Structure 1
Amino acid sequence: MSDLPEIRQAAQRPALDPRPLEKRIGLVILATDHTSEPDFRRMVASERVGVYVARIPYANPTTPENLRKMQPALTAGTRLILPDEELDAICYSCTSASVVIGDAEIEAAIGAAKPGAPVVTPPAAAIRGMNALGVRRISLLTPYTVETTRPMASYFAGHGFDLASVTCLGFDDDRDMARIPHQAIVEAAKAAIAPDAEALFISCTALRAAHVAAEIEAAIGRPVVTSNQATAWNCMRLCGDETARPEWGRLMTLGLAQPQ
């Protein structure tokens, strides 16, 4: 080791930027999630916006009982995302668990780790999206079982939406939901939309529906809101990113605050 040159410390350290990236979005996802992280990387992450991910324990099957079991892990999971640093938005990326646990309870659990950061859940983001689109009568498509779809339907009805139809595909494992082919999602969506529905909501962050939202809109002639598309849109707008991204669906061309 005697041939090493002398290591000299520079006389002056470089000045630091305020942050490595201007905006920070925290993403809390299931341990089994295959879809949320890639979707946020495609739709949200940029040279200006960073997406920082934490995974929390989850065990299939996807039932209301198992979904509720995630609640105690939310605070600890959120705390692992850039500890002691502020986030500009935090998304808990599970639609069905958000419905079962409740938006307010999720906000409280995440807020205990990151006080003051805006919290986004997929169903709440979907409601904001449908309000931005100006629609009230909707069709609902989920990959879940009837048991897990029922609370989802009740959630939207409870928030004042008129459900024209509700369709589920009968899956109970989110890893299988992530394997449903794009074209199968398109065909399921075309079959699920009611003639008098103003829009279609496709639930589930595991489902690769954001990829084909624009294609479905072209096929059915009405707006499509998906879980990951809605949360990505909501988080981007909270970070001040107003870029129109029509390739991800009509919602991605709108601002967060729109007249209802």
Structure 2
Amino acid sequence: MTSLGFLYPGHSAEDDYPRIEQILASDIRLPLVHTDIGEDAHRVDALLEMGSAKRLAGGVEELRLAGAEAVVWACTSGSFVFGWEGAQEQVDNLAAVAGLPASSTSFAFARAAAEIGVRKVAVAATYPKDVAAHFVSFLASAGIEVVSLKGAGVITAAEVGTWGREEVLRLAREGDHPDAEAVLLPDTALHTAAYLRDLEEALGKPVLTANQVTVWEALRLTSRKVREPSLGTLFTQKPVVTAP
């Protein structure tokens, strides 16, 4: 059995993780621990506090007890707001505290884009545009060009968590661009696990979503290879998951 640990901020779309575990239908387990988010706000100061070392460290012991072999900070905005070097320091600290390989959703997006071979992307974000702009800068550090940015302006993760299939599809369509090789939806508060096939069929190109890439990144950290087309193009690559 492979156990992959996730630190998830608050409560919004955490049910994507048991859904993905069910879709994989294997010996892979996805234990998840909720972190204390403080203020629920897509605002830079609040996000920096949400991703602080103290808040992340609080959930590590529970994941260790669950047998986690790797840990991923399942939050995009609470990692990319630190910038590339700050986000690396964040996961280095997490790895040191956990005694396990560690990463975050922001790095998962960068590595997933490389895995499917795309360099030009569109970003369809739930966040206000000023927050989403930090994600653009983060991707630029990985050599990924954002040809189009959509910021939906939603302030709280709680509101994002209420969105269903139609809202998710609309966000992706509005954020797409003819020059984009893939569309990225960077918010772990957004339910997407059930809609990945629909998203890619609607747009006619790969779609990377936050909870999808977060699980993929945890698999990568443990060198576990998985193929599951219902989880999108990312899970159909050969090899799907490469060693760290």
| TM-score bucket of the superposed structures, by smaller chain | 0.7 to 0.9
Unaligned 5+ segments in structure 2 are none
Deviations 1:24-45 (A, max 9, x none): 21111112x2213x21212136
Structure 1 residue aligned with 2:133, among 138, 145, 150?
A: 150
Runs of 4 or more off by more than 3 Å in structure 1?
A: 44-47, 237-241
Contact 1:27 1:53 in 2 (8 A): yes
Contact 2:196 2:232 in 1 (8 A): yes
CA distance in 1, matches of 2:236, 2:17: 17
Deviations 1:210-239 (A, max 9, x none): 322221211221110011111112223444
More helix by share: 2
Quick one: which amino acid aligns to residue 28 of structure 1? Answer: L
1:95 aligns with 2:76: yes
CA distance in 1, matches of 2:204, 2:153: 26
CA distance in 2, matches of 1:111, 1:216: 33
Give SS of 1:82's match: helix
Partner of 2:110: 127
Contact 1:99 1:151 in 2 (8 A): yes
Most deviating of 137-146 and 178-187: 178-187
1:28 aligns with 2:7: yes
Most deviating of 227-236 and 200-209: 227-236
Alignment of 1:55-204 (within 5 A): 55-58=34-37, 59-70=39-50, 71=52, 72-83=54-65, 87-101=68-82, 102-115=86-99, 117-204=100-187
Quick one: which amino acid aligns to residue 40 of structure 1? Answer: Y
Give SS of 1:167's match: strand
Most deviating of 181-190 and 106-115: 106-115
Whichever of the two has the greater Rg, that structure is 1
RMSD of equivalent CA atoms: 1.9
Deviations 1:225-255 (A, max 9, x none): 0111111122234445423211121111121
CA distance in 1, matches of 2:58, 2:158: 24
Contact 2:223 2:242 in 1 (8 A): no
Contact 1:25 1:50 in 2 (8 A): yes
Contact 1:44 1:236 in 2 (8 A): no
Structure 2 residue aligned with 1:223, among 189, 199, 206?
A: 206
Give SS of 1:166's match: strand
Quick one: which amino acid aligns to residue 63 of structure 2? Answer: I
How far is 1:47 from its partner?
Answer: 5.4
The 3 A distance-change label for structure 1 pair 198 and 47 is: closer
Quick one: which amino acid aligns to residue 40 of structure 2? Answer: N
CA distance in 2, matches of 1:219, 1:181: 16
Alignment of 1:14-53 (within 5 A): 22-31=1-10, 33-36=11-14, 38-44=15-21, 48-53=27-32
The 3 A distance-change label for structure 1 pair 77 and 47 is: same
Deviations 1:74-121 (A, max 9, x none): 1222133234x8631111111001112332122133123212x22131
Q: TM-score, normalised by structure 2?
A: 0.88
Give SS of 2:149's match: strand
How far is 1:51 from its partner?
Answer: 2.4
The 3 A distance-change label for structure 1 pair 105 and 240 is: closer
